[in-house]
Each structure stands twice: as C-alpha cells, then as structure tokens.
Amino acid sequence: MVKMEDVARRARVSTSTVSHVLNGTRKVSPETVGAVQQAVRELGYIPNTLARSLARSRTNTIGVAISALSNHYFSETVHAIETECARHGIMMLFVDTHDDPVQELRVVEALHHRRVDGILLAPSSDPERAALAYLQANAIPAVLVDRLAAQGFDQVGVENRDSTRKLVTHLIGHGHRRIGMIAGHRGLSTTEERIEGYRHALAEAGLTFQDSLLVNGESNSESARVAAAALLALPAPPTAIMAANNLMTIGAMHALREANIAVPQQMALVGFDDFDWADFFLPRLSVIAQPVKALGERAVQLLLRRIDHPDEERQSERLAATLRIRNSCGCP
C-alpha cells in the first residue's frame, strides 16, 4: 500500500508538506503542489480521508431521510440538498422513508450507526414521533425539512397558510362559491396548514366551510383521483377544486378527464406545488410554486451550523412561496 511517506520521497518534499498539499492546511508554492500531485498520480496514492475525519470526530457526511422516490417535489428538494452539500465538500447519504413511521425510525437509526455528522429529516405523521425522540435522545444534530413538526429542532419549510389562502381567494375572485379541496395525508404539518389557509379564505369571503367539500387525497395521485370523483358525485358538486400537492393535482385531472369535464370551462383546477410540466398541460396549471432550491440550500446551511455550534439557539424558518397564475383557474 502506498503511503504518504512514499509520495513525499517521490516529490522530494517532507511528509508534512504532502499533508498540507492534500488537506489544504497551509499555503504551498504552485511548483511544490504540482510535484506532490504528480507523485500522487504516479504512485496511485489514495488519501485516507476516513482516518482524517475520524481524527476530527467528523465524517463529513450527512444523512437525508425523506420520502422522495414517489414525490417529484421531494426529489427536487433532495437534488438541491445534494448540490449544496457538494458546494461545502460534504457527502450526502440518502435513504427513502416512504413516509412510514417504522421505516423512518429504522432509517434514522441506520444513519446514526453510520456516524453521519447530522441528519435532514422530513418527518412523517407518526403520532409517537419515535424518530424525533431518537434524534433528541442521542443528541444528533438534525434539521426538519418542509414539515415543521416539533420544538427543539432547527426547521425550515415553506409558508403554507397564507399561500393557500391566496390561491383559494383567487378562485373566489372568479366567482366560485363552492370550492372543493383535496387535502394531503392528515397529521402532516403541511396538510393541516394548507387546510387552515383554505378555511381562512372561505371565512374571509363570508363563505361557510362544508365538510363534504374537504376530501382526503392521501398525498398521492390515485387516492386524489378517487377523492376528486367523490367531489364530482356530490348532489351539489364544487365548481372549482384546489389540490394540496402536485401528485394530487394530477389525480384530480385524471378524475375530471374520466368524467369528461373540461378545465377551466366546466371546472376550475389549481394546485399547491409547481412542477416542470405544469406550464405545458392544457390548460396550463395555476399553482403555488415552492422555493425548492432555496429550501434545500437553507436546510444544509442550518445543519452545518448546528454541527459546528451545537449549543446555539434553534431556528425555525419559513420561505415564501409564489402564486403562479396560468389558465386552469379560468384566467385567459
């Protein structure tokens, strides 16, 4: 096995100089840097980064526990997290939680056992909050992403209540008085906040909230298709539907097409979450766009701050979303 001493001998410098070049711990002349790098290539030397990180009690690795494989929004979030990690020279270990509390706890435990420096978690709707309790009990630096669920953690998410209120108020401005909402999985903070925004918009306009117009789409397209069909089957169906995430917007569109209902001529449709093809649907979808890139970046920044400064005050941040009006709402 090639050692650092072998590199130093080939480059005709001291072992400490090789260390400074490889670790960037001291300014070294360009000529010396070139000689060391050439010796590394010729000898095939592989720096023992794990040994160095263990010496610093760091692995330069963070864990990401998010249900992303089935959700385009979270996939984009993970991509933003990975990009920000690369910018800081941090390795990211991603494991999908499938929004299942049992799997979520297993994932958090596994990441901890692999000695990650910290964990980014989009918590599930687990009433026991087992994963959160594990993080706290083991003093693991952690940041909750998207779903702000508990005190005692750094958290970063998107503003949901007022964003939903603006979207529903826009529909009311088109004259709609019976507006259905397809909500996500109950127990998630994002779901409850968006329902609050929906109800706030109705109350603000003097409209009575009706239980029958609020249905559960379980945050996936098939459940949302069934939920939208139930809205359409009401004796007095809504004239507009708001779906609370991108997958449920797609499910609602399927139900409307199956019922041969034209959007927006016969039914207005809006959604929470923008996605790549929303502007290419016919009609073009009016949505609330979440700042996915900023969310991922800020999550990593907060986690690195927590790792470096474990005793600092916890931060809870809300990022502003954007109302993107196209024409599925009835706008020309």
Segment 301-329, tens digit of pLDDT: 999 999 999 999 999 999 999 999 999 99
Mean pLDDT of the chain: 91
The residue among 72 and 86 whose pLDDT is bigger is 86
pLDDT reported for residue 151 = 79
State the Cα–Cα distance between residues 17 and 23, nearest whole angstrom.
Answer: 10
Kindly state the average pLDDT of the residues 149-177. 95
Neighbouring CB atoms inside 10 A of 143's CB total: 26
Nearest residue to 118 (alpha-carbon basis) of 164, 64, 74:
64
pLDDT reported for residue 53 = 52
Cα–Cα distances (Å) from 253 to 123, 172, 198, 212, 266, in that order, read 28, 20, 20, 19, 13
pLDDT reported for residue 211 = 97
* 34, pLDDT greater than 70: yes
pLDDT tens, position by position, 139-156: 999 999 999 877 789 999
List the single range of 68-72, 128-132, 216-220 with lowest mean pLDDT.
68-72
* 200, pLDDT greater than 90: yes
Domains and CATH numbers, the chain: 4-47 (1.10.260.40), 61-158+292-319 (3.40.50.2300), 161-290 (3.40.50.2300)
State the Cα–Cα distance between residues 192 and 202, nearest whole angstrom.
Answer: 16
* 183, pLDDT greater than 70: yes
List the single range of 113-117, 175-179, 212-216, 222-226 with lowest mean pLDDT.
113-117
* 25, pLDDT greater than 90: no
Q: What percent of the chain has pLDDT over 90?
A: 73
| pTM summary value | 0.80
* 74, pLDDT greater than 80: yes
Which two tokens mark 248?
Answer: 């449920």
- H/E stretch holding 316: strand 316-319
